Structure 1
């Protein structure tokens, strides 16, 4: 793979989106409640898909779901009310029915706050069983090899 292809592939695998911490997402200690990081990461994954031309809503309307089957979150530093957070979402790998993402959240000072790894499985919404990704998603995966 030449350098240009390498960097194009790297760009395809990564996406950034931002979210501002709302007051309702903080706890009594004035920091983001730990459970509220999961929705931030979900925003990142949905925007990663949207950036690649994939609508999560359309995918579900076609009968395909993408539930989380595994997540690992490491909290490094707390986010606080009104901070603008940048969510980095990176495609890590895929198999016949799974997709894996590495995720990071940074604050406005570019300090790493949280890291996470998510594994999701493509399922048929009709049967609830694992299924192969739609062809258009398989084509996307090929561009990231």
Structure 2
């Protein structure tokens, strides 16, 4: 599992000071990206190798509002991994460890030039599974 802390900025909120719903998706993306980075995989280097991950499906349950200036925790773990895709379970929590949002995100590994599914490289798969 990977844990990322994010602060809610004014730009993340609506007129009422509550995080706009679409920004939870950005927090989830940052969580997945930072986990890859922690494992030594930079997105731009993967793209230079003609490889990228694209979101294929997304389900979010919003539980509580997140508000301006709160520090949130984004927890990311792999729920399931197949040959060319992964399902991430992601949770955003507030400082009191209350769940703000829970998401299941399916990403597909694709060849960037053709946008066709390709197998997740063995070493990356091994590193991700080893980080569980």
The normalised TM-score by structure 2 is 0.94
Tell me, which stretches of 5 or more residues in structure 1 are unaligned? Answer: 1-13
Which residues of structure 2 form unaligned runs of 5+? none
Q: Which has the larger Rg? A: 1
Q: CA deviation at 1:33?
A: 0.4
Q: Which residue of 2 aligns with 1:9?
A: none
- Alpha-carbon distance in 2 for matches of 1:117, 1:55: 22
**CA deviation string 1:6-50 (max 9, x = no partner):** xxxxxxxx0101110000111012200001110000010001111
More strand by share: 2
CA distance in 2, matches of 1:64, 1:135: 13
Partner residue, 2:70: 83
Cα distance in 2 for partners of 1:32, 1:138 equals 33
Q: Considering only aligned residues, what root-mean-square deviation do their CA atoms show, in Å? A: 1.4
Q: 1:103 pairs with 73, 90, 98, which one?
A: 90
* Residue of 20, 29, 33 corresponding to 2:7: 20
**Deviation, structure 1 residue 142:** 5.3
C-alpha separation in 2, matches of 1:142 and 1:67: 19
TM-score (norm 1): 0.86
More helix by share: 1
Query: Offset at 1:139?
Result: 2.6
